[in-house]
């Protein structure tokens, strides 16, 4: 056993915390110098709506497996009437900042991240992006419907499954497969691969809901960077996307790590309640504001009703 004096231990913790604070300082310095004081005011004046949206979006990105795009995409497309392609592009670009800093924050606090699962899942997701960008053409409203249905299942899975303390050994081929489907979804709406990896960790591997989130955050950060680079090389972002990024980038660099910090302070059941609440808001907003067909809305309501009945029945059987 190795004993470390209090002073030495404090020094180690301070040095490790620099993994987050030094990049954050450099990022803010580069951001402010690149824009200049006059342009900073202009950017915030023109794109303040994006900044406000990402205050909530970045917190969700760091504290849950949903990603900042799960907030940005519906708000931009439903409320701000931004095109789905711009909303998706922005989601990927801004998550490249926020979720990267959240990952650095987790690393600086020595939080457990399952790098093996991430490596295998990235094999699948990295293969999926060119397939989705080039060969798959779906209406974004269809993808949004699929996503809404999927996260409804995720919410109820968190209610059904008994959370274990240790990750069970599962074939990594499943991680590749789930990563691939996550990449297909993320290429269309700017988020989703973290939710699908969360599904894999909690449902397939029966991992603790709270402890799986840092892994999904890191996975989404890597995928956001990869997809953003792909898009920047193959297309040109609109003025709205660029301006919104400049106005939101410094906010998410702090907001996502703040969400990560709050996550570290919550108990597992509190984390589940928070995630289910956010999912409920997203699904409800989709039913109220998204231009779904009547059939799509009825399908979502039937799914929720069926899962509620099944959940109540399961609890009665166990009791």
Helix (H) or strand (E) holding 110, with range, is none
- Separation CA 296–CA 146 (nearest Å): 10
pLDDT tens by residue, 216-262: 999 999 999 999 999 999 989 999 999 999 999 999 999 999 988 88
In this prediction, residue 95 carries a pLDDT of 92
- Separation CA 243–CA 245 (nearest Å): 5
In this prediction, residue 289 carries a pLDDT of 74
What parts of the chain have a pLDDT lower than 70? 1-14, 140, 158-170, 314-319
pLDDT tens by residue, 287-317: 877 778 888 888 888 888 887 887 777 666 6
Residue whose structure tokens are 């302070």: 265
- Separation CA 14–CA 164 (nearest Å): 32
First to last CA, the chain: 46
In this prediction, residue 140 carries a pLDDT of 67
How many CB atoms within 10 Å of residue 294?
Answer: 7
In this prediction, residue 1 carries a pLDDT of 37
């Amino acid at each position: 056993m190795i004993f470390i004096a209090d002073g030495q231990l404090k020094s180690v913790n301070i040095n490790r915390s620099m993994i987050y604070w030094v990049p954050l300082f450099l990022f803010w310095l580069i951001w402010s110098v690149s824009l200049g004081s006059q342009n900073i005011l202009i950017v915030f004046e023109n794109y303040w709506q994006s900044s406000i949206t990402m205050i909530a979006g970045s917190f969700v990105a760091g504290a849950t497996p949903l990603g900042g795009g799960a907030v940005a995409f519906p708000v931009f497309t439903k409320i701000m009437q931004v095109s789905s392609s711009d909303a998706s592009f922005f989601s990927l670009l801004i998550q490249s900042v926020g979720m990267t800093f959240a990952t650095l924050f987790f690393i600086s606090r020595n939080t457990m991240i399952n790098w093996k699962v991430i490596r295998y899942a990235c094999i699948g997701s990295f293969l999926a992006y060119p397939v989705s960008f080039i060969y798959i053409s779906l209406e974004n409203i269809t993808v949004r419907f699929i996503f809404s249905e999927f996260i409804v299942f995720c919410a109820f899975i968190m209610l059904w499954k008994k959370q274990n303390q240790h990750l069970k050994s599962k074939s990594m081929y499943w991680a590749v497969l789930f990563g691939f489907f996550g990449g297909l979804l993320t290429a269309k709406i700017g988020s989703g691969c973290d939710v699908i990896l969360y599904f894999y960790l909690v449902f397939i591997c029966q991992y603790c809901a709270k402890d799986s989130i840092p892994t999904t955050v890191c996975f989404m950060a890597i995928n956001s960077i990869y997809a953003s680079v792909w898009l920047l090389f193959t297309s040109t972002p609109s003025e709205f996307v660029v301006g919104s990024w400049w106005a939101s980038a410094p906010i998410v660099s702090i907001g996502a790590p703040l969400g990560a910090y709050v996550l570290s302070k919550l108990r597992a059941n509190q984390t589940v309640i928070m995630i289910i609440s956010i999912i409920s808001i997203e699904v409800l907003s989709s039913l109220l504001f998204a231009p779904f067909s009547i059939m799509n809305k009825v399908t979502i309501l039937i799914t929720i009703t069926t899962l509620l009945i099944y959940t109540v029945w399961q609890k009665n059987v166990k009791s």
